[in-house]
Amino acid sequence: MSTINLLPKDLTPKQGVVKVTELVKKIDIIGFSVLIAALVILIGLYFYINGKIDESKIRQENLKVEISALEETEVRLVLVKDRLQKAESVLSQDTAKDEIINLNSVTKILPEGVEIIQSTITQNTTTLIFNADNSSSLSKLLALLASSGIYRGIKLTSLKYNQLTGYSLSLELSG
């Protein structure tokens, strides 16, 4: 189709002006399209970044919960470690447990008329002071101690006699 121009020729725009106008129209269309695309991209980026920020906040809250749980666990671990160190120090100390067990065995074999009036217990030795009514009870005590095998060493540290109380015998026993 041909274009009909009803304007007089002197009012028609010049060919250069028409080309510049068409070029400006194309630039306007391209610029507007780029502007629309940029706006769509910016709006998309806004929602994407906003979503990432929300995810980051949720992860931050989760990490805070995990950190507080780990702090509680760390406190418990420190307490357990402290208890273990104390238990090791208690267990590494020398004890007289075996001597107490041996003393219990001695009290079970005491003959009639003999009683323990004093005992001193250390880790390796036990010192016992006995009172015996008569010499036969005293000899039974010594025979039972020697034959029982409870102690490896029996050392007589003192032997006294009093008419009112009887014999007082002090023994140092090592087990």
The mean pLDDT value of the chain amounts to: 87
**CA 172 from centroid of its chain's CA atoms:** 47
What's the pLDDT tens digit per position in 1-60?
577 767 677 776 778 888 999 999 999 999 999 999 999 999 999 999 999 999 999 999
Spatial CA neighbour of 97 closest among 69, 133, 63, 121 = 121
Q: Euclidean distance between the first and final Cα of the chain, in Å?
A: 131
Amino acid identity at 105: S
Whole-number Å distance between alpha carbons of 104 and 98: 10
Question: Is the per-residue pLDDT at 99 higher than 70?
Answer: yes
Whole-number Å distance between alpha carbons of 121 and 127: 6
Whole-number Å distance between alpha carbons of 81 and 148: 44
Residue 110 φ/ψ, nearest 5 degrees:
-60, 130
Whole-number Å distance between alpha carbons of 112 and 133: 9
Q: What is the pLDDT of residue 53?
A: 96
Q: What is the pLDDT of residue 47?
A: 96
Q: What is the pLDDT of residue 63?
A: 95
- Ordered alpha helix ranges (H), 93-111: 97-109
What's the pLDDT tens digit per position in 113-137?
889 899 888 777 889 999 998 989 8
